[in-house]
Each structure stands twice: as structure tokens, then as C-alpha cells.
Amino acid sequence: MKLLITGGAGFIGSAVIRHIIANTRDEVVNLDKLTYAGNLESLAEVSGSERYSFEHVDICNRAELDRVLTQHQPDAIMHLAAESHVDRSIDGPADFIETNIVGTYTLLEAVRQYWQALEAQRRQNFCFHHISTDEVYGDLDGPENLFTEQTPYAPSSPYSASKASSDHLVRAWHRTYGLPVLVTNCSNNYGPYHFPEKLIPLVILNALEGKPLPVYGKGEQIRDWLYVEDHAVALYTVVTDGKIGETYNIGGHSEKRNIDVVQAICSLLEELVPEKVAGLANYRDLITFVTDRPGHDLRYAIDAGKIQKELGWAPAETFESGLRKTVQWYLDNLEWCKRVQDGSYQRERLGAGPAGVR
């Protein structure tokens, strides 16, 4: 089939595209606005494929969405395009409202018109897969509680509130217009090609340079960590085998306190890069506790039993195996990191983009 993936140059989107091109016979159209978090270099290994094409389009641009849908005639949509950094949403929520809410609405309307015009068999087989986050649920009270697909929404940040809104829009378009939708809510992703402002790559790169490793509060916040390539497999499983109208929670079965994640990275770096910058005895000495984020949720944890029971998916990586792969990837790809950090990936990306760039 042909899949249209919004936000395909982002961290999770690029992992999904790499998985599909490498492991299936499907075609992929990558639609991305290329904000700061969109990096076509993350798709270098698949950019030469005849089954891959790229459209430089904002999901808020209805005319361009109509053109792309008419031109490419996708069989399914995987909607990953979103502003996703909590700290940025606190500093400037407007972009999150525009992309995550207005953009999702605009995309839904374009897709609804496209879907209604399909011939009967294609219309019956079509689906719109909306990819969301566990942050829409807020945080958990007790140490044993888990987010399920029935957990009430209680978002805490402008980011999670905007994603909660987009989830509601998708379900409303299913209920009101009959648009065939699937929704997934995932836990914290990590792995190769993660933008360096996120916790795990930030800690790795700061440690190598002897810079402070910032930890909010006392680092007691608990997150369930999901290796991004496991997530990519789960998302493809849902879009191909999921039941229309259903929601699937996707988690890594790897709950860790933030401080434990940072210390685990330090331990791996002690093993893999024992020679440090001058004057540094131990990577853990760089850990620096900073003022906590406003409204910071304490604990997230996913019950991924439904997707395992109904669709047969379970994560292949433990946190320990996934983290080792992640740290090693960053050590092997410091040039990619440098180009993200100095902004050169943005200045040159369109001139050196993959085949099919408009």
C-alpha cells in the first residue's frame, strides 16, 4: 500500500519510514514542514528508494494538502506531525495550538474530503492513524497504577493539552463523519536520531563535553521508556492490523526515574569513553539539579496489554539493551549531532534533500 506520513522527518516519523522502506514493499510519502525538529539527514539511508518521496508541506496549508492527496492517492495516513517539546510549549504555546490543533483539524478535513471521493473498495480499506502521547492522561497517583485506553484525560502542559485536543478531534471525526481512524498513545521514546534537546541525547553530548547534566528537581519523575524502533514496528502493526475506531497504548515496560536514566548513561560512558575532558574524574560529577518544570507530572506508566493481546506486539528491547544501542549510536554519529547543534542541517537540507523533494 501507499502510506502518507506527516512529520516523517521527525524523530519517530523517520524511524517509521526507515522501518517501512527496509522491511516492507509499501510506498511512503513523507509530508513535513521541516521545522527545527525535522531533519532529512535522518532519512539518508532510504532517500534513494523508488518507494520514497518527500513533500515539503505544512499541515495547516489546506490547498497543499489537497494537492498532495490528489497527486499521491495514499491508502492510509499516519499523522505524526506535531510540536512535541514540553519546555518549548511552556515558553511559547502558540505554535503548539497552531500545529497540533489547527493543523490536525485542517488535515482531518482534507482527508475527509479525499476519503469520501474514493471508490467503494478503497474507501472501505482506508484508515487515518493518529499518533499521540501518554502525556494526555496527566500523571498517576499510586505506584502501581497504569495508563489504560480508558484512563480519563487530564493534561498538565500546553503540549499535552494540545495533543489531547487533537485526539478528541480525531475521535469526533470518526463519530460524526464516519472517518475510519485509529489512535495510539505512546510513552517516552528514545533511540537514534533523537533531537539533542531531549533528555537522553542531551546527557550523552553534554557529558562528552564536560558540561553540566541538568536534572529537574531531584530527578524523582518516573517515565516509561520505549525504544523508537520498537515503536515504529508497533505503529506499522496498528496501521495494518488495528481495528478501526480503537485506541492502543504503546509502552516499553521500562519505568525509570529520571535520575536513574542519567546515572545509567554515565555508567555506559564510563565503560565506552573512559577518557574524559581534562579535570573530570567521573561523569556522574556533572549531574546538576535544577529548578523543576512548572506543572511537572511525577509518573507516567503504560499498560500495553491490549496491543500485545490483540495485535501480538511487544517491545524487543529492554531499557538496558536499548540504552546501550542509543549511546553507541551517538558516539558513532557525532557529526550528525554537530550538524544539528550548529544548525547546518537546516541551512543545507533542501539543497541536499532526497529524491522526490518538491
Which residue is listed with cell 531499557? 319
**Which of these is catalytic: 135, 167, 230, 297?**
135
- Is residue 135 part of the annotated active site? The answer reads yes
Three cell numbers, residue 147: 495508563
Cell numbers at residue 329, please? 549510536
Which sign does the torsion angle of CA 124, 115, 79, 192 carry?
A: positive
Q: List the catalytic residue out of 27, 58, 83, 134.
A: 134
Q: Which of 105, 159, 283, 330 is catalytic?
A: 159
Grid coordinates of 314: 511487544
In angstroms, the Cα distances linking 325 to 35, 142, 330 are 27, 32, 9
Q: What number of other Cβ atoms are within 10 A of residue 206's Cβ? A: 18
Q: Is 310 a catalytic residue?
A: no
The Cα–Cα gap between 263 and 241 comes to 39
Query: For the purposes of burial, counting CB atoms within 10 Å of the CB of 259, is it exposed (0-12), middle (13-18) or buried (19 or more)?
Result: middle
Helix (H, G, I), strand (E, B) or coil at 280: coil
**Can 134 be counted among the known catalytic residues?**
yes
Q: List residues with catalytic annotation.
A: 134-135, 159
